[in-house]
Structures are given as C-alpha cells and as structure tokens.
Structure 1
Amino acid sequence: MYTQCPECLSVFSVDARTLAQAHGFVMCGHCGNGFDSIATLADQLPPEPFDELPVNEPGVEPPRLELAVFRPKAKTEPEPAETLTGLDAFADLVVTPRFARDKRRDQPRRWPWIAACLLLLLGLAAQLGWALRDTLVADPITSPWLRQACAILQCRLPAVRDVGKLHLLARDVQTHPSVPGALLISATLRNDATFTQPWPMVTLRLTDGNGQVIAMRRLNPYEYLDDTEALHRGLAPGASTALVFEVEDPGHQAVAFDMEFE
C-alpha cells in the first residue's frame, strides 16, 4: 500500500502495522509535515508520471450506536438566588497571562550587575587618580578642580615637589653680627609653580678662588624654618619668602657660595 504527503507530494510505502500505530496519522520523512495516511491510501501506484495518488473513499459507513447501558446523572442546577452572574462570578478573579508571567519570571535582574560594574569603575578611577596624583595636582587644568573639591570635602591635597619652579631672586652672605666664627647667608625664594610646594631641602656650598668646594651643608626645612605652621602649609604658588641660614665660617679661603634646592 502507498500513501502520499499532501505538502511535498512524496509517496511512501506503508503496511498495516505502520498504519495501526497512530491510527493512520504519520509524519513525512521529507518535509516533516504530519498527515492522515489513510486519506491518500492506495493499493497501487498509477502510471508515471503522476502528481497525486487517487483518494480512497470510505466504502463502509461507520455504525451508529443507539442502545446505551449506562448514562451518568446530570448535575443539579443551583437555586436562582444562589446563581451568580458572569460578572459577579469572575469579579475577584485575577488572571495573569501565561506569556506575561513567564516573561517576568525569566527576566534576569540586571541592576546588581550594573551596580557592581559602577563600583568597580569608581575603584579603578580612584586607583588611577592616586597613582597619577602628582601629575593631576601639578596640572594647571585639573589642579583648581581638585582644590575646590578638597575645600568642599575638607581634605588636603598631597604636596607636589617641582624644584625647577623654585627661583632664587636674591642672595647675600655676611659675617654673623652676634656669633663669632659664623656666617649669615640670606636668600629670597619664589615659587613660580601653579600649586603649593613643600619647602625644599637646601644644599649650601662654599668655594675658594679656584672654585673648589671647601665646605658644604645640607639643611632640611625644619632646620631653617622656625614657624611650624608655615612648614606644614608649604610654599604657596607665586609666593616669595626670605630664607636665612647660619653656617660656620671656614676662614678666609671661602670667597663664594652656591645654593641648590632638592
């Protein structure tokens, strides 16, 4: 026996066992369409070429059953007073469509991931800013913004040192007026940077007539500054200050001196 798929017109050979498994309903192995194989069941193939198999008309009308041996009782109808109208019966019923309920259930919660990513980005920005703090504080564009932010947050920016922006305006050396065997060296220092600098370490060198160093001393800021508050405040941008150093007199061989900042 032969049957034909109504979608792709593929012809298949079938037997009684195959037809009995699903009462004649089969799946096409070519296009995957399900169809009733009994509707196009034929004993023989027509002569080729052919497009469709002849349709098998049912030869026997199915019998009608009239004699019933059992029939379940009908359910009793509710009293008219207890009968609810269609609107009243479903007034308190809340129906959520299946597609909407499943969509809410399957939708992932994204806000924890977004919050975690934002925290990681803020942490990365903080680490980068701390690594480049000297450059940012010294930069003329970012420095005012950072100072305004620190003024609001009541914090203090880290001190940035740039001795190349410290310029010596004037200097002088003379015999100490009150200490015998000592020299009094004075200098005027100006900070040309756009940011506050910490007080520098000063190196003094006394040389002879041949330029040979005969005495040298390195002074820390707390050794030549008596004002503790000014020491912590630093040298403001554009500010000038007078520095005074008391050193031992190496004798008449010292004819010149040199000053260097670190």
Structure 2
Amino acid sequence: MYTQCPGCKTVFRIDVARLRSAHGEVLCQRCHIVFNALGALSETVSEATSESPGNSALPPSLGPAETVATSRYEQEMRQDTVHGADGLPSFSADANRPVRRRVPERSVEAPPVEPEGSADSRFAGWGWGLGSTALLLLALGQLAVFEGPRLAQQEDLRAGLEWLCRPLRCSLPEFHQLDRIRIVDRALQAAPDDIDGFEFSLIMVNQARLPQAYPTLRLALTEVNGAPIAVRQFKPEEYLGSVRPGSMPVGQPVEVRLLLARPAREIGGFSFELI
C-alpha cells in the first residue's frame, strides 16, 4: 500500500500490519511530521500522488479530535510562556510557524518511495549508451572496411584497425611500404663455379616499425647504350627459395642471390625496382 505525506507530498510504501499496530500514525522521514495515513491509502503510486484534500482550493475543516488537540496545544503554549522582569513575555510562539504534532510512541517511520519510472529511466540511459557505442563501432568498422586498404598502410593507424577488425572478423591487407625498405648493397657479376652466366646479389633492410610483405623484384639487363636486353620479375618465393616466405622482419638484412643465364648480347648494365 502507498500513502502521501500532506506536508511535503512525498509518497511512501506502507506495511498495513505495522500501520494498524500504530493506529494509522505515520512519521515522515523527509519533513518529520506525523500524520494519519488510514484515510489516504492507495494500491499504486499513481493513485497516491493524485490530487488529495490537502491540494484542494479550500483547506479541510478540523475534526473534533484535531480541534481538541489544537486547544490543548494553545493552552500549553500560554502556560509555558516565560515573563521577564518588566512583566512582558520574553518568548512567544510564532503564529506563522506550522504546528508539528508530538510523535506517538507507536508511529510508523515511512521511507520515501522511489518514483515510478526512475529504474526504467536508468535502463533507458544504459540502452542509449550501448546503442551509441554500437553505432560508433559500426561506423569505425565500415571505415576500416572501405578505407582499410589505404589506412592499413599507415604505421600509426594499423594497430587500431587490427583491434577493430577482430570483433568484426575482417582482415587487413599486408603491410607494404616500399619507401621504408633500404637497399644496402647490390651487384651484378660473373657467376661462380664456371657457370656460364651472371649472379645478381642484393641486400635490403626493412626500416619500418612493423614487419611487412616481401616486395616483388623487377630486374632489367641493358646494353652499354641503355637499350634493354631482358626484363623479368621475381616473386618473393622465387628469390627467397621458400613457398611461404612470411613477412619481412624489422631491421634485419635480407640477402638475395639470383643466377641469370648469359644473354646473346653483351650486358652493359642493369637496373632493378621493388614493386
């Protein structure tokens, strides 16, 4: 059951059994006044907060019991008045101060009831928060999917994109930055062990902060005047001798050696490119 304090309009949940043992007297824990709740009981909070006689335009008339209580209170106030030496009272009751009834020994202390809908409001707030988070993750996931190939090549962004892709089960292209590969040495010389051909050697180092895919090597042999003689591209598994070369480690020199057949025309030079 529920009731409403006529003073501060706070709604309380009331135990009927305890209310009967206290003869209907209730102590408001918010404004600390005592009121009789037997005439203002409701089944729901909404009924308890509906307009009560205390909210009507005209104040309710005092019943016989309340009239007697008021008269006794006025008599006690007159008897308790202290007079000074000049015969004038040194203390008098404030006529505008609300009269608070003495707390009965069997009154029920009623804690305020939390307004209906507050729990729903909290759940709604949580729902909005979770929904906003989900939309943010979805937007970031779409950014990773559509802009992933370009953003995945940024060293500072790749770790964050990989974190976003894990829950979305997406994959990023291999990290590949050719400008972060430094060529330490390269040479073209006659092949050893009496092989009729040439040997091309190359040493390169990955200077990026992340391991990256091995590049494809494009090698061109030219005449003395620069005219091309032969051009060929070598995939990582060809110049590394491994079916699955993996990723190029960071800061470790990688040596490449390729045996080339002697062309029909005399070689005057060479050029290469990482692609």
Is the Cα–Cα contact under 8 Å of residues 189 and 241 in structure 1 kept in the other structure? Answer: yes
> 2:218 and 2:49 mapped to 1: Cα distance?
79
> 2:175 and 2:196 mapped to 1: Cα distance?
38
1:84 and 1:99, CA in 2 relative to 1: closer, same or farther beyond 3 A? closer
In the alignment, what sits opposite 1:104? 116
Residue 127 of structure 1, aligned match among 113, 119, 142: 142
Give SS of 2:187's match. Answer: strand
In the alignment, what sits opposite 1:174? 189
Residue 225 of structure 2, aligned match among 207, 210, 214: 210
1:136 and 1:179, CA in 2 relative to 1: closer, same or farther beyond 3 A? farther
TM-score, length-scaled by structure 2: 0.50
Is the Cα–Cα contact under 8 Å of residues 223 and 268 in structure 2 kept in the other structure? Answer: yes
Residue 116 of structure 1, aligned match among 131, 139, 142: 131
What's the offset of the Cα at 1:156? Answer: 8.6
Q: Which runs of 5+ in 2 are unaligned?
A: 1-19, 26-36, 51-114
Point out the structure with the larger helix share: 2
Residue 86 of structure 1, aligned match among 15, 23, 46: 23
What's the offset of the Cα at 1:100? Answer: 7.6
> 1:96 and 1:196 mapped to 2: Cα distance?
67
User: Are residue 256 (structure 1) and residue 193 (structure 2) matched?
Assistant: no
What's the offset of the Cα at 1:96? Answer: 3.6
What's the offset of the Cα at 1:204? Answer: 0.6
Give CA-to-partner distance per residue, 1:175-207, whole Å, 9 cap, x none: 222473332111111222222221101011001
1:199 and 1:142, CA in 2 relative to 1: closer, same or farther beyond 3 A? same
Give SS of 2:251's match. Answer: coil
Aligned residues: 173
Is the Cα–Cα contact under 8 Å of residues 159 and 196 in structure 1 kept in the other structure? Answer: no
Is the Cα–Cα contact under 8 Å of residues 138 and 195 in structure 1 kept in the other structure? Answer: no
1:122 and 1:100, CA in 2 relative to 1: closer, same or farther beyond 3 A? farther
User: Are residue 160 (structure 1) and residue 175 (structure 2) matched?
Assistant: yes
Is the Cα–Cα contact under 8 Å of residues 149 and 172 in structure 2 kept in the other structure? Answer: no
Task: Give the alignment of 1:70-85 within 5 angstroms.
Answer: none
Q: Which runs of 5+ in 1 are unaligned?
A: 1-82
Say which one has the larger Rg: 1
Is the Cα–Cα contact under 8 Å of residues 134 and 160 in structure 1 kept in the other structure? Answer: no
1:175 and 1:99, CA in 2 relative to 1: closer, same or farther beyond 3 A? farther
Task: Give the alignment of 1:1-262 within 5 angstroms.
Answer: 86-87=23-24, 95-98=43-46, 104=116, 110=124, 111-134=126-149, 136-143=151-158, 158-178=173-193, 180-228=195-243, 231-232=245-246, 234-251=247-264, 253-262=266-275
> 1:101 and 1:235 mapped to 2: Cα distance?
74
1:144 and 1:115, CA in 2 relative to 1: closer, same or farther beyond 3 A? closer
What's the offset of the Cα at 1:224? Answer: 1.0
TM-score, length-scaled by structure 1: 0.52
1:125 and 1:228, CA in 2 relative to 1: closer, same or farther beyond 3 A? same
In the alignment, what sits opposite 2:60? none
- Percent of aligned pairs sharing the same letter: 24
Equivalent position amino acid for 1:190 in 2: V
